[in-house]
Chain A
Amino acid sequence: MNQDSKNASKTEDSIISIHGMHKWFGDFHVLKNINLEVGRGERIVICGPSGSGKSTLIRCINRLEEHQQGDIVVEGTELTEDLKNIDIIRSEVGMVFQQFNLFPHLTVLENVTLAPIWVRKLPRAEAEEQAMSYLERVKIPEQASKYPGQLSGGQQQRVAIARSLCMNPRIMLFDEPTSALDPEMIKEVLDVMIELAESGMTMLVVTHEMGFATAVAHRVIFMDGGEIIEEQPPKAFFEDPQHDRTKLFLSQILHH
């Protein structure tokens, strides 16, 4: 499988390609010369210490953050100032946040149907039918009429995943999806993500869940100080890291 993914990432068929990308927050150089090709159906886990720029990197892919140099091409569309391109890309790229970011004034069903109705212009009945099928897929159809504030963190995060999936995205971005969850709820969210991975979705996941990385990732990327330090298939990444910085990081997160 790892062999496949390496081939995939080198073909013309990459779904995301990032070349020589730089980003600054004011004077702070947060991303330095990022080059990344993501193949269709590829699953990448990004890890690294906090402040390493990993969240910023995936937020650049749907333009929640603006990059200042280099280029990012998603599904053949380059991310520029052009608002139309940005809206096109955003409707093709789903994102799941650390803090879930559900809309608290809307019910679960309304959260999940909102974008299909307003962005995809689906008729309400069709959107609701599709929403219920995704809520079943994340195993909470019975919560459809509740408000997010009445759900547990794990349930909210699964709703957030369903909300993204309802746009039928080609790519899913996960920004530390389990970091804000109680330990008992992490598994229910990871299970949904693993199921999603098995369906062939292209996924970029910022996480420190190394079990998840081992189970589903084609590649693990390690970032530090705004740079990609190392990228490896998970087995090689965990068993034979090349850089001292990676070894130090792994020793700190794996042995305690």
Chain B
Amino acid sequence: MTKSFNPQSYEPGTHPDLPPPAITTGLIGWIKTNLFSSPLNTALTLISLWFLWQILPSSIHWLFTGAVWSAVDRKECWAMMDAPRDGACWAFIRGSLELFLYGWYPEPERWRVNLTFILFGAAVFGALRENIPGKKYWLMFAAVFPFLAAWLLFGGFGLEPVPTGKLGGILLTLVVAVTGISFSLPLGIALALGRRSRLPVLRAICVIFIEFIRGVPLITLLFVASTMLTYFLPPGSSFDLLMRVLIMVTLFAAAYIAEVVRGGLQGLSSGQYEAADALGLTYWQSHRLIILPQALKISIPGIVNTFIGSYKDSVLVLIIGMMDILGLGRARLNDPDWLGLAPELYIFISLFFFVSCFAMARYSLSLEKKLETGHQS
């Protein structure tokens, strides 16, 4: 009856699948839709390009082409440039790398730190990597790794004991961060389950714990750890400062993880709990097999967010006098040979944190994608 708009017409039920219009695809299409779609967007694009033109050449010169990579002190650095401070003096970072990495860890024992780093890499790889043979053993290894690392780093049981005060720099940062991350997850899950428990006492304990820890700044907790904790412990018991800090950092992260996981638990439909119950699964079976795998999947962005936050918060330990990478770096700035090289230091530290945090973020994205099973809830 009415003439179809489409020049071709098909019998009802025989219309083939056609490709989409071509204007929206390809590089030209992308540039058009994203950069020059309106006068305002065009203006913004041009302003941005002008801005990049202004800052890029001088940044590249300072960071790379005009930079000095090896020298014994800053004076030699300046001497090698067109003008002092014309480029970055990366020699400072290179010269301090060993200190930044190991702190004051005794030189003959540094193989233990290296071994710990290697085992750490293996544990992370084995725990995160899917489809590797013997996954179960890799996971078991990752679970015992923190204890193995503690033995390697601090000694005892046949190894030369190293006082915890000798730890510094990236080593200390990683010890604080990895401990916080790896112990806060199980503890946080336990707290989240406890907060939803039907037992009033357990629930109350978890709520009070979570709300107290969340209500107090981490710095305050660290001061508590460094000054007050000894009053609360039985008299005569001495408790290593690093150990106290690790406990505080872990508790702090666990409180946040607990709330993230609780969000995930509440995001599940009650039907999942009911179906598990109706099949006769016990509480622990249904949580292990049905509830937690799904709740944790929902919580991945929040969990990784908390991990990244607690990783970066680890620099706060410098406030109670511990020399993590930031504390040690700042102390190094006072070295007469390298006075005034703060930009190099902070760029290096930023890069260190950015690379590790970005890796965590990317991994969490790929994990989310992998766990996607086409379910819309």
Question: Residues of B contacting A88 with CB < 8 Å?
Answer: 280
Give the total number of A-B pairs whose CB atoms are below 8 A apart. Answer: 76
Q: Does A155 contact B (CB under 8 A)?
A: no
The 10 closest A-B pairs by CB, nearest first: A91-B280, A149-B374, A104-B375, A149-B375, A101-B275, A101-B271, A115-B279, A147-B373, A90-B280, A95-B278
Q: How far is the CA of A119 from the CA of B289 in the complex (A)?
A: 12
Q: Which of A64, A93, A150 is close to B274, meaning CB atoms less than 8 Å apart?
A: A64
Contact of B275 (CB < 8 Å), options: A103, A105, A150: A103
A245 to B293, CA, bound (A): 47
Report how far A90 CA is from B278 CA in the complex, Å.
5
CB of B266 within 8 A of chain A?
Answer: no
Seen from chain B, the residues whose Cβ lies within 8 Å of a Cβ on chain A are 269, 271-272, 274-282, 285, 289-290, 293-294, 297, 371, 373-377
Q: Check A149–B281 contact: CB distance below 8 A.
A: no
Query: B160 CB to closest chain A CB, in angstroms?
Result: 48
Q: A150 with B374: in contact, given A97-B274, A118-B285 (CB under 8 Å)?
A: yes
Tell me the bound Cα distance from A95 to B276 in angstroms: 10
Q: What are 5 of the A-B contact pairs (CB < 8 Å)?
A: A95-B274, A103-B276, A119-B285, A148-B373, A164-B278
A143 cross-chain contacts in B, Cβ below 8 A: none
A103 lies within 8 A of B272 (CB): yes
> Please, how many angstroms separate the alpha-carbon atoms of A97 and B376 in the complex?
17
Report A-chain residues with C-beta under 8 Å of the C-beta of B294.
Answer: 103-105
Which A residues are closer than 8 A to B by beta carbons?
62, 64, 87-88, 90-91, 93-95, 97, 99, 101-105, 114-115, 118-119, 147-150, 163-164, 167
Residues of A within 8 A of B290 (CB): 103, 114
Q: Give the secondary structure class of B's interface.
A: helix
Given contacts A105-B371, A147-B375, A149-B375, contact A115 B274 (CB under 8 A): no
Taking a contact as CB atoms under 8 Å apart, the answer to whether A148 and B375 are in contact is yes
Distance between Cα atoms of A99 and B279 in the complex (Å): 16
Cα A64 to Cα B273 with chains together (Å): 10
Q: In the complex, A94 Cα to B269 Cα: how many Å?
A: 20
Q: What residues on A are CB-neighbors of B279 within 8 Å?
A: 90-91, 114-115, 119, 163-164, 167
A97 to B373, CA, bound (A): 21
Assess the B274–A114 pair: CB atoms within 8 A. no
A91-B376 Cα distance, complex, nearest whole Å = 29
Most chain A beta carbons < 10 A, residue from B281, B282, B285, B377? B281
**Inter-chain contact A99/B375, CB cutoff 8 Å:** no
Select from chain B the residue with minimum beta-carbon distance to A90. Answer: B280
CB-based contact B269/A87 at 8 Å:
no
- CB contacts (< 8 Å) of B289 on chain A: these are 114, 118
A104, B377: Cβ atoms under 8 Å? yes
* Cβ-defined partner of A105 (8 Å) among B269, B271, B293: B293
Q: Which residues of B contact A94 (CB under 8 A)?
A: 278
Tell me how far the C-beta of A91 lies from the nearest C-beta in chain B, rounded to whole angstroms: 3
Instruction: Check if A102 sits within 8 Å of B275, measured CB to CB.
Output: yes
